[in-house]
Each structure stands twice: as C-alpha cells, then as structure tokens.
C-alpha cells in the first residue's frame, strides 16, 4: 500500500523497496558470512589481544606493560623515529614531484611511479636488503661507475636509514598517486592567476597547490605513517640481529620465540595507540 | 572560466610538450633519475637471481646462469607456487560470493547500520595487522585451523574482503538505480533484476575487484607466516625462509616470480586501472 500511494503521488519507488520479505531475508542471510569472517578473523582477535595484554597466568595484571616499558621503550622511540624519517623522505620527494608532474605532465614518469604499488612489501624488503647491503648491488654499481673507491662499504644501510629508505620507496607511489589526484582537483585558473603574478613552478606548488590540497596531504600522511609504524615484512626481511628494532619485530619475536602472548599483545596495544594517535591528530586538524 | 579569456591571448601550455632544450634535458633527467631510483633496486634482484657465483669484491657475478631459475620447475619452489595459487583461487572465489550481497546491500539499502557495517570492513586496514593476526593464530590453534589450508584461506579472506567489499560497493553505487526500476516496472522481481540487469553491468568492476583479491592473497605474508607456517608455505613465506638461510639467489628468483602478476597487470591494464583501485594496491 505504501508503495502504491508513493507512486500515486508521483514519488519514485526504489527497487529495494519492491523486494518481498522472503527475498530480503535471503539477501541479509547471504550478507552474513562476510560479516562473520571479519568478526571471527579480526574483531574477536583484536579484543582478545586487548584482554591478553592485561593478563598473565590467568590473573589481571600490568606486568606485561611493565616488561614492555623495561625492554622495549627505546624501540617505541626507534619505531616512531624510523616512521618519521620515512615519512619525511616520502613527502620531501613526493610533494615537489607530484607538484612538478601536475604542472608538467609526463606519462613515462607517472608510469614508473606506479611500479612500487605492484611490488609486495616482502619483495621490497628483500630487494632493498640486496640493494643497500654494505656490499650490495648499489655499491657494486657505484664501484663500476668509478664513483667510489674500491674499499668503501655502505655503513648506513643496515640501520634506521636503510629502513626509512625502503619504507619511503614503497610508500612514495601511493603518496604521489593521492597527491596527484588532489593537485589535479585544483582548478587551473588559480595556477593561471599565480603565473599572471609571475609565480614560478616552485611558488605555484608551495603557494597554490599545497595549501589547496592540504586535507588530502594530511590524509596521505596519516595513511603512510600508520602503515610505516606497523610495518613488519620490510623490517623483517632487512633485519639484523642486534641494536634497536621496530616494534613489530619485537612483537614477532616475543610471540614466536618466547611464546609470550601477553607481552606480545601489550606491544600490539602500544602499536594500536600509536596508530590511533596519528589518526586522532589528523581528525582534530581536519575538524578545526 | 574558459570563455573569459581575452581574445588573442595565448592559452597557457598545460604541460603540453617541453619548451626548448632546457626543458627536454630537465625532462630526460627526471625520467632517468626515477628509472634509477625505482628500477635500480629491482635490477639487483635480477642480477642475484642469475648469479651462480658471486664473491666480493667482484662488481658483477663471476658466473651467470639459470641454475636457480630451474628451481621453479621442481620441488619446493613449485610446491609453494601451486599452493599459493590454489589458496588465492579459493580465497578469491570465497571473497566474490560473500562480498557481492553485502556490497550490493551497502550500495542500495539505506539502513542506519549501513555505514557501521562498511566501517567494519575497514578495521583490518586501520589497525596494525601483526598483533591481531598473532591473536587470531592463537584462536586458530585452539580450533585446529592453524597450519591448515582452510586456516590460511580464512586469514587471507579477512584482508581480502576489505578490498572486495569496498571496491564492489563503489561499483554498484556507480550503476544507476533507474535501470533497475525499469526492469521492476516491467514485472521482474528484485532478485531477478539483480542477476539479469545489475550484475552483468557490474561485471567489469567485479572482475577488477577479484583480481585485486587474487593478487592480495598471492602476496600475503604476515597472516600466512603466523597461521600457516611451517605446514602451509606460500611463495612469500618461502622467500623469507630462503633469505633467512642466506640463499639470496633462491629468494631473488622467488621475489621476481612474485612480481610477475602485478607487473603484467600494470602493463596490460595501466589505462583501465582507476585511481581508487590503484590506491588499494598501495596497501598490498
């Protein structure tokens, strides 16, 4: 009846409203498995890791967090530092590059920049390990070109810098993609006006494109930062035995080698908080 | 804006072709630098994959050959490859069947819970995966799913559904409701309209979304390592094990094999891949 009266008044009847009750029930039933998979495979484990982080030997305790503080507090700073360096590198290259490509379109450059999107994280980790190793293929090439003396080794590659470079290599593609989309959304007339006042390419990027695309830049930054903070396969493939480690590597060893699920979960909760902190900071700056 | 330009004024070149020699040099330099930075590290893999003998300080391998590539056709590498492909096929089929109804529902039904349900499918991207997958592995051990084919498919499905549900929702939203209304007004039922009208129109998007899930599953490492290893080994886990044992050649061959599907997709479909799909690929 409702549908009929809506029709009589000239209103439209949406196809969904024409579904019979049995049909609707079947559709909802068909939608349940996907929800169940996410709840069983992610929602429930997420909650379990939260409770497990406060449990030891069946009792509620903060002992796991104490251990995290005692053993891994340096690694929290190390992880944030590596992610920040990676982010700086990604955007330090990504913003001028996307801006340049917005002003001077280049098919070849854009195609090349898409390549890392299709290279899985594990492969990036292995490729960078081989490439940046103290006597890796980068050094071999530099030798072959006669740019460095034969007895040099690349000292930086095994530490935080190598990790930051690898993370930036992988994330640059996504960041450029997001930024180019945002920069393309900036109307050409603003750039024409800037050029009319004599602004060169650098001024056009900094004074027009970046401020107008600020929300997208913020989103791209939060997306890459949370991904870098939680990065696991790249540091695992590049990891060395000693020195500070990324938090996810600590978590993996705590869980795999020590079988200490409680402390591993506490490290996990710290990583949730770091990710949530980045997201919160972004949301607050958007809301302003 | 266009119409207001004064007659006779030259429209600004919008990056159409370089102007002058300096621009040509600048453009070539940019492409050369990008080529070195992006392709350079990958070329290292190619070099290592054919290096039968390579001792420092030789700049290039002393002996080059396809000895390690031959491993693809035999034994453990082939096993990991076929296992990974079959897991990816099952995961893709399962993601397809389970995502279509929920994506269509999210695109069409205006329910108060709709956005909440969609946000649920963002969870695996919003939270760090490793701690959650470690926790899932604990549960899977309890349920005898750890180290099984089914367990790995399930953990791949968790990540894969993020891609399929979100891309398919966008695909169904892009199809106009008017065309469905026309079918219904001609007497077709809601479900019949979906299968005869909507789904065929959505097919290209559904295929793209399936390719996304397939490649995600093929490349998935964290979940497979935690839930599957050591009994269910796919190529990424195999590569990690090889690299742990300093078998750099084997690891490099595996890495290159892992890159093939993505590169094929990039080269074959570059023009058809819309930015929103590409953005999803960045998270693989």
| Per-residue pLDDT tens digits for B229-283 | 889 999 999 999 998 888 888 999 999 999 988 888 877 776 666 555 555 555 5
Cβ contact B38–A20 (<8 Å):
no
Three-state SS for A125? helix
DSSP state of B50: T
Of B34, B132, B221, the CB nearest to A121: B221
Tokens of B86: 């079959």
Crossing angle of helices B75-108/B199-219, nearest 10°? Answer: 140
Distance, CA of A117 to CA of B263 (rounded, Å): 10
pLDDT for the residue A9? 45
Distance, CA of B19 to CA of B16 (rounded, Å): 9
Cβ contact B135–A52 (<8 Å):
yes
Tokens of A212: 């107008």
Contacts of A100 in chain B (CB under 8 A): 30
Distance, CA of B236 to CA of B48 (rounded, Å): 17
DSSP codes joined into one string, A186-239: S-HHHHHHHHHTT--HHHIIIIIIHHHTHHHHHHHHHHHHHHHHT--HHHHHH-
Answer with the residue of higher pLDDT: A52 or A283. Answer: A52
* B262 min Cα distance to partner chain A (Å): 5
For chain B, where are the alpha helices, taking DSSP H only?
20-34, 40-49, 75-108, 114-120, 123-126, 129-142, 149-174, 177-185, 190-193, 199-219, 222-223, 235-244, 248-269, 275-281
> CA-nearest residue of chain B to A122?
B236
pLDDT digits (tens, 9 = 90+) for B162-182: 889 988 988 888 888 888 888
The percentage of residues in chain A with a pLDDT greater than 90, rounded to a whole number, is 51
Please, which pLDDT band fits residue B14 given cuts at 50, 70 and 90?
A: very low
The residue written with tokens 């891994």 in the block is: A72
Q: Tell me, yes or no, if B25 comes closer than 8 A to chain A by beta carbon.
A: no
Tokens of B221: 């490492």
Cβ contact A15–B193 (<8 Å):
yes
Does residue A17 surpass a pLDDT of 80? no
Please, which pLDDT band fits residue A45 given cuts at 50, 70 and 90?
A: very high
Please, which pLDDT band fits residue A5 given cuts at 50, 70 and 90?
A: very low
pLDDT for the residue B111? 65
* A172 min Cα distance to partner chain B (Å): 9
Distance, CA of A31 to CA of B97 (rounded, Å): 9
The residue written with tokens 């800037």 in the block is: A194
Whether residue A197 contacts residue A137, with contact meaning beta carbons closer than 8 Å, is answered with: no
Q: Tell me, yes or no, if B203 comes closer than 8 A to chain A by beta carbon.
A: no
Residues 124-143 of chain A whose Cβ lies under 8 A from any Cβ of chain B: 124, 126-132, 135-138, 140-141, 143
What ipTM, to 2 d.p.? Answer: 0.87
Contacts of A237 in chain B (CB under 8 A): 240, 243
pLDDT digits (tens, 9 = 90+) for A206-244: 999 999 998 889 888 988 999 999 999 999 998 766 788
pTM score of the predicted model: 0.86
- Count of CB atoms within 10 A of residue B33's CB? 13
Q: What pairs with residue B64 in β-bridges?
A: B51
CA angle A91, A93, A98 (to 5 degrees): 85
> What are B173-181's contacts with CB under 8 Å, separation 24+?
B173/B107, B174/B205, B175/B201, B175/B202, B177/A14, B177/A15, B177/B108, B180/A15, B181/A12, B181/A13, B181/A14, B181/A15
Tokens of B251: 């690891």
pLDDT averaged over every residue in chain A: 86
Residue whose C-alpha is closest to residue B120's, from A42, A222, A271, A29: A42
Whether residue A158 contacts residue A134, with contact meaning beta carbons closer than 8 Å, is answered with: yes
pLDDT for the residue A37? 94
Cβ contact A275–B158 (<8 Å):
no
Q: How far is CA B25 from CA A93, A145, B30, B246, in A?
A: 20, 22, 9, 42
pLDDT for the residue A216? 86
Please, which pLDDT band fits residue A178 given cuts at 50, 70 and 90?
A: confident
* A79 min Cα distance to partner chain B (Å): 13
């Amino acid at each position: 009846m409702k549908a009929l009266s809506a029709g009589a008044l000239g209103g439209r009847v949406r196809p969904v409203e024409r579904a019979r009750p049995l049909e609707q029930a079947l559709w909802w039933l068909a939608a349940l498995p996907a929800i169940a998979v996410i709840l069983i495979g992610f929602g429930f484990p997420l909650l379990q890791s939260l409770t497990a982080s406060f449990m030891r030997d069946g009792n509620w305790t903060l002992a796991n967090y104490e251990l995290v503080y005692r053993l891994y507090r340096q690694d929290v700073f190390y992880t944030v530092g590596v992610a920040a360096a990676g982010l700086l590198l990604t955007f330090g290259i990504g913003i001028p590059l996307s801006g340049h490509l917005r002003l001077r379109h280049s098919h070849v450059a854009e195609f090349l920049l898409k390549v890392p999107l299709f290279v899985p994280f594990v492969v990036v980790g292995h490729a960078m390990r081989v490439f940046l190793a103290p006597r890796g293929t980068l050094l071999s090439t530099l030798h072959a070109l006669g740019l460095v003396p034969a007895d040099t080794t690349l000292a930086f590659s095994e530490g935080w810098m190598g990790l930051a470079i690898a993370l930036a290599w992988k994330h640059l593609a996504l960041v450029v993609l997001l930024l180019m989309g945002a920069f393309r959304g900036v109307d050409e007339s603003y750039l024409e006006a800037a050029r009319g006042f004599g602004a060169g390419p650098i001024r056009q990027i900094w004074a027009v494109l970046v401020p107008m695309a600020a929300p997208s830049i913020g989103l791209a930054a939060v997306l890459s930062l949370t991904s870098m903070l939680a990065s696991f396969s790249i540091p695992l493939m590049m990891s060395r035995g000693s020195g500070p480690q990324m938090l996810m590597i600590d978590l993996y060893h705590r869980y795999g080698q020590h079988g200490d699920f409680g402390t591993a979960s506490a490290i996990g909760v710290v990583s949730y908080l770091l990710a949530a902190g980045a997201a919160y900071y972004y949301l607050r700056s958007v809301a302003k | 804006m266009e119409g207001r330009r004064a007659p006779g004024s030259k429209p600004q070149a919008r990056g159409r072709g370089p102007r002058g020699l300096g621009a040509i040099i600048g453009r070539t330099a940019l492409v050369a630098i990008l080529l070195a930075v992006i392709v350079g590290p990958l070329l290292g893999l190619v070099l290592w994959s054919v290096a039968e003998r390579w001792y420092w300080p030789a700049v290039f391998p002393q002996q080059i050959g396809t000895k390690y590539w031959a491993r693809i056709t035999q034994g453990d590498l082939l096993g990991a490859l076929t296992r990974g492909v079959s897991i990816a096929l099952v995961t893709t089929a399962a993601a397809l069947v389970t995502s279509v109804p929920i994506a269509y529902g999210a695109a069409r039904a205006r329910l108060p819970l709709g956005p909440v349900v969609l946000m649920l499918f963002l969870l695996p991207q919003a939270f760090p995966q490793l701690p959650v997958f470690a926790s899932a592995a604990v549960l899977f051990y309890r349920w005898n799913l750890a180290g099984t084919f089914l367990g790995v498919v399930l953990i791949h499905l968790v990540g894969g559904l993020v891609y399929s549900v979100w891309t398919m929702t966008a695909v169904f939203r892009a199809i106009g409701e008017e065309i469905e209304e026309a079918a219904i007004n001609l007497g077709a039922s809601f479900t019949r309209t979906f299968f005869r009208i909507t789904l065929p129109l959505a097919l290209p998007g559904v295929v793209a979304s399936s390719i996304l899930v397939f490649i995600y599953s093929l490349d998935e490492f964290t979940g497979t390592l935690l839930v599957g290893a050591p009994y269910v080994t796919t190529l990424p886990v195999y590569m990690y094990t090889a690299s742990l044992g300093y078998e750099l050649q084997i690891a490099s061959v595996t890495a290159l094999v892992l890159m093939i599907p993505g590169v094929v997709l990039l080269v074959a479909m570059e023009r058809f891949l819309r930015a929103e799909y590409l953005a999803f690929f960045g998270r693989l």
